[in-house]
A and B are shown apart, each in its own frame.
Chain A
């Protein structure tokens, strides 16, 4: 389908695709097997300016938006969903600065993040606060001009590898959701350590670690926005970043579809390629239709966000929900088309199925996405829209 991308967007897709095919394809299995962080690839993406596609030109980026970010994420994910998320998680850590940073903070961090010389991460989740984000326990206690952070963040993508962290902590527990504040922290600060690296089912090229704060002293100038709006920062960040996760899911699904079509033309059973059997054809047709529908929804949502539409929570949640469910379904079907070979590590599709699962879970489980969508529906109905 032709989405009438601009010349610049086509350029971004073409370059990302070239790098992904030539440089990522040969190392996909290696990173999946070893869980080694793909620094070589991050460096290549940085040199190609891809970390800056969604950052304004005045801060050293290329001046695009969520759409450009999604296009890069999709192309990378077609080859490896794990390597793609190392890239996309930096955007997740950057968006709070982009959306809520003051001029000084933007000038300090955005040019480095646009260049990709430093990676970023976003830290909200805790052992006892996942879907119930308001339950976070990491405390930031005010002492004079400083805040003292104590607590543990869990499952932080790019944790330990990134150097810039947006961390949500409670500054006033009594105020509940209105008592959270977002801080910009940097690797190497006293009292800021990393826990163990998690072993995961999929996206194994990415690093997932705990962030541990022990009397970590943070200047007030590191607050994003102001005290008490930490959850707003998180929610607005997710609104902008969900199409990125959706794009990751889309890329994984598209990659699985391509694998399945190719394999079905090569695999011969009953004296014919299995692509000649209607049973296989119908599976492939459904896979392709779902992938295209996911793409259309993501692109439309990303364009809407980039046009400056304010209320995007519903569409953003829909794109993430739909694309990640599609990814799970399509990768499972791809394994089915491959049959026994699909279940083997030597073939690419079982990894895609493992990679797909997380997209239904992180940045808000799909159940939470449904809550968001339903809440918007009911709100609008109540307003008589």
Chain B
């Protein structure tokens, strides 16, 4: 069973003090914050490796980004992934979820051989949760999002999909696209031997030219989202706790609601 895991390198939001916003562009200054693998993607890598250990095959990690994303891919290799591909080209920069989905999907087509594509449910920086489903649409594959458990039987996939207060049991034919939640597993630590191997491993880098795809569908040019402004939402005003006998509290509440013209 060959698995492709798509990962994103994100700033470590746990070290908040290192996060800075560029006052000119209103975007995150990525070079000041330590970069990590998006935590949900770590679960996706772990699940890929577990499935590989169970059913044999290979795990390929795929990412798009600047050359420093190599670090994230090496970390994935250290955990036990077999191959790593980085899509890196100046023209890929500034991509929104649409352009990113297109570029990743084209890379997956180029890889060709796969049974399952795994994603984390969303990235902790953009939080859109759109790229997994976007790739599934580009490839015309079935997709199951927010998955907390995967079972494979006779080439069929059965997944538990987390809903707000219950879960759905969904079946799909392979190949399929899955996005996973934190509950699905606990990502392993890399082993020392894994780290050493990953340092020497070859990371395949594909540029626009090597992928021979439409240049107007990638990067900023291929993006239909425009960021007009980034701002911190105003703090909501504090709630008020009414105290006293039930009757008094109800009276005060009704008066307050009338004052605000709710009633």
> B194 — nearest CB in chain A belongs to which residue?
A49
Q: Are B196 and A18 in contact (CB under 8 A)?
A: no
Q: Are A44 and B196 in contact (CB under 8 A)?
A: no
Q: Are A18 and B192 in contact (CB under 8 A)?
A: no
Minimum C-beta distance from B9 to chain A (A) = 18
Chain B residues with CB under 8 A of A19: 189
Q: Are B189 and A18 in contact (CB under 8 A)?
A: yes
Q: Are A8 and B196 in contact (CB under 8 A)?
A: yes
> A19 — nearest CB in chain B belongs to which residue?
B189
Q: Mark B108-141, 1 if CB is under 8 A from A, else 0.
A: 0000000000000000000000000000000000
Residues 180-218 of B contacting A (Cβ, < 8 Å): 188-196, 199
Minimum C-beta distance from A46 to chain B (A) = 9
Q: For the complex, what is the distance from the CA of A7 to the CA of B199, rounded to whole Å?
A: 10
> A52 — nearest CB in chain B belongs to which residue?
B192
Q: Are B195 and A15 in contact (CB under 8 A)?
A: yes
Chain A residues with CB under 8 A of B196: 8, 11, 62
Q: Are B189 and A11 in contact (CB under 8 A)?
A: no
Q: Using a Cβ–Cβ cut-off of 8 Å, how many residues does chain A contribute to the interface with B?
A: 15
A48 interface residue per 8 A CB criterion: yes
A233 interface residue per 8 A CB criterion: no
Q: Are B189 and A47 in contact (CB under 8 A)?
A: yes
Residues 40-59 of A contacting B (Cβ, < 8 Å): 44, 47-50, 52-53
Minimum C-beta distance from B81 to chain A (A) = 16
Partner of B190, one of A8, A15, A62: A15
Chain B residues with CB under 8 A of A44: 189
Chain B residues with CB under 8 A of A18: 189
Chain B residues with CB under 8 A of A50: 192
> A47 — nearest CB in chain B belongs to which residue?
B191
Minimum C-beta distance from A115 to chain B (A) = 10
Q: Mark A245-284, 1 if CB is under 8 A from B, else 0.
A: 0000000000000000000000000000000000000000
A291 interface residue per 8 A CB criterion: no
Q: Mark B155-192, 1 if CB is under 8 A from A, else 0.
A: 00000000000000000000000000000000011111
A12 interface residue per 8 A CB criterion: yes
Chain B residues with CB under 8 A of A8: 196
Q: For the complex, what is the distance from the CA of A44 to the CA of B195, rounded to whole Å?
A: 15
Ordered by A's residue number, 14 sampled pairs between the chains whose C-beta atoms are within 8 Å are A11-B192, A11-B195, A12-B192, A15-B189, A15-B192, A19-B189, A44-B189, A48-B189, A48-B191, A48-B192, A49-B191, A49-B192, A50-B192, A53-B192
Binding site for A on B (CB under 8 A): 188-196, 199
Binding site for B on A (CB under 8 A): 7-8, 11-12, 15, 18-19, 44, 47-50, 52-53, 62
